[in-house]
Amino acid sequence: MADKRIYIFDTTLRDGEQTPGVSLGADDKLEIARALAKLKVDVIEAGFPVASPGDFAAVRKVATQIKGPVIAALARASRNDIHEAYEALKYAEQPLIHTFLATSDIHMEYKLKMTRAQVLSHISEAVRYARTLVDEVEFSAEDASRSNWDFLCMAYSQAIAAGATVINVPDTVGYMVPEEFAKLIVYLRENITDVDSVRMSVHCHDDLGMAVANSLAGIGAGALQIETAMNGLGERAGNAALEEVVMALATRKDYFGCVTGLDTQQIYRTSRLVSTLSGILTPPNKAIVGDNAFAHESGIHQHGVLNNVETYEIMRPESIGIKKSRLVLGKHSGRHAFEERLQELGYQCSEERIHELFMKFKELADRKKTIFDEDLEALITEKTTEIYEKFRLLSHQVISGNEAMATATVRIETDHGIIEKACAGSGPLDALFNAIAASMNQDIVLKDFQLKAVTSGEDALGEALVRVERDGRIYSGRGISTDIIESSAKAYLQAVNKLCAASGTVAANVGVN
């Protein structure tokens, strides 16, 4: 019997962006969408157009420029939302409107304040209207896992009758366990009218750590599509991780009897890109894409792997695109070789962008003996959206020692002049961050700071990730440099810039000298 084809619906750009502290600009979304298209996911959910003008613009940019996958946009079950989704999607090669409405009693009573009859009516109206605009419509029953099963069957039957082509079963709050979720899928398949005329999808959250297990249980029970996010990003504890779902199906094909259309060798590169642009570091023990996923420290394990890799590796690192770092370019390399290497790494850049990157590469080559692929990727993904560059670091100086309080001085350029501030701190980075915050005249809380080497060696690029908070909102920043103080300053300033941009702060408010 032929293997069952499973569709991968990726929601990194929509649900993944709802991760606290993650805010992707239109260019960031386009960069990730290109990687997802190269990965060959079936559907890219590009965003929630009605949420903001920025999200609308980002969805339209992805819909216009990305070819191959279906491009989806989320819309509540309202005519206005659906119209906005269509306007953002209408230039897509294959557009899909994804509309949703809650069906659990707790949501209907406390959030929607609607009766079951009203909910069914809204579902029919929304799906029917969406089908007048596009050929592909997906309906999701929000909080399906806590809904009455018979009412859920009625809701999906209404959606199918109105023209839905995909029905999605979300475990919105990550409540179910695999055996229970499988029973739900079986029940739905047995009791929804005309269920075989549509594709059934599952969308599982990880609140109890079972998003991937529940998704795979749903496939085992007859679903044909899994909704995932790269690196498991998403609301609260996140979504089912694309890399885990796909590699589980590939590695245990003997058990699941399923195949996807993905090019798994693009997984690692896509994971790194998403981690970099989202500002969310991948834990070293993360399945599939973590730094330790293919590392062996135990002597017994090492001995086994040296004799036969299958003793402790159930998949090869090459299967997800991991290869040994190698020297690719040096300070004497020309632009042609540089551009060719970017293409080999899978990046498509404009002439202007290539020129900008080449200048940065030359600067790095003067400071670093060996340039690895990871260094080039770090340079490529270091770019920031224009809105985040209202304040630019001109210079910094830090004085620190074990017998004196650390002090830092920064000079920051704005559109209205130069700001210069000096502050003390409990250490060099604390002093530096205090000086930047003082320059912005902002009350900022540092929530998280992480620093790691991009590659090996004493002259390795240092990658700093900073997360700051104000008024309950989190903003992230990233910086790279061979100088870890400089990379930390860049990361902190980028995070604060995002904060200022979101709150409308202008240079006039920060005391320009």
Please report the DSSP string for 262-276 in residue order. Answer: --GGGHHHHHHHHHH
Tell me how far apart the alpha carbons of residues 189 and 86 are, in angstroms, rounded to a whole number.
30
Three-state SS string over 449-472 comes to: EEEEECCCCCCCCEEEEEEEEECC
Tell me how far apart the alpha carbons of residues 273 and 82 are, in angstroms, rounded to a whole number.
30
Q: What is the mean pLDDT of residues 242-246?
A: 98
Contacts of residue 72, defined as CB under 8 A and 6 or more positions apart, other chains included, come to 9, 43, 44, 45, 46, 89, 95, 96, 97, 98, 138
Place of tokens 């979720």: 181
pLDDT > 60? residue 86: yes
pLDDT score, position 247: 97
pLDDT > 70? residue 310: no
Phi, psi (degrees; rounded to nearest 5) at 47: 160, -165
Instruction: Choose the most confident range, by mean pLDDT, from 169-183, 270-284, 319-333, 347-361.
Output: 169-183
pLDDT grade, residue 319 (50/70/90)?
very high
pLDDT grade, residue 513 (50/70/90)?
very low
pLDDT grade, residue 384 (50/70/90)?
very low
Q: Which amino acid, one-letter code, is at 223?
A: A
pLDDT grade, residue 101 (50/70/90)?
very high
pLDDT grade, residue 270 (50/70/90)?
very high
Tell me how far apart the alpha carbons of residues 45 and 15 are, in angstroms, rounded to a whole number.
9
Strand, helix or coil at 97?
strand
As assigned by CATH, the class of the 11-278 domain is alpha beta
Interior CA angle at 186 toward 181 and 188, to 5°?
95
Instruction: Choose the most confident range, by mean pLDDT, from 23-27, 149-153, 353-357, 476-480.
Output: 149-153
As assigned by CATH, the class of the 386-509 domain is alpha beta
> In angstroms, what CA-CA distances link 185 with 103, 176, 239, 256?
16, 12, 18, 16
- 150/339: higher pLDDT: 150
Q: What is the mean pLDDT of residues 60-80?
A: 98
Strands 225-228 and 199-204: parallel
Place of tokens 């990233």: 478
pLDDT score, position 385: 43
Q: Which two tokens stand for residue 39?
A: 């990965």
Count of C-beta atoms within a 10 Å radius of residue 453: 14
pLDDT > 90? residue 470: no
* Percentage above 70 pLDDT, the chain: 91
Indicate whether this model's pTM tops 0.75: yes
Strands 43-47 and 258-259: unpaired
In the chain, where the domains are located: 11-278, 327-380, 386-509
pLDDT > 60? residue 511: no
pLDDT > 60? residue 327: no
Question: Residue 263, CB half-sphere, CA atoms under 13 Å: how many?
Answer: 11
Tell me how far apart the alpha carbons of residues 298 and 301 are, in angstroms, rounded to a whole number.
5
Q: Which amino acid, one-letter code, is at 34?
A: R
pLDDT grade, residue 252 (50/70/90)?
very high
Q: Which two tokens stand for residue 513?
A: 């000298």
* Percentage above 90 pLDDT, the chain: 59
Tell me how far apart the alpha carbons of residues 91 and 161 are, in angstroms, rounded to a whole number.
27
Q: Which of 134-143, 258-267, 312-321 has the lowest mean pLDDT?
A: 312-321
DSSP state of 207: T
Q: Which two tokens stand for residue 121?
A: 């009516």
DSSP state of 91: T
pLDDT score, position 478: 85
Tell me how far apart the alpha carbons of residues 455 and 208 are, in angstroms, rounded to a whole number.
34
Please, what is the average pLDDT of the chain? 88
Q: Which two tokens stand for residue 253?
A: 């094909």
Phi, psi (degrees; rounded to nearest 5) at 480: -130, 145
Strands of the sheet containing 417-425, edge to edge, are 392-401, 404-414, 417-425
pLDDT score, position 165: 98
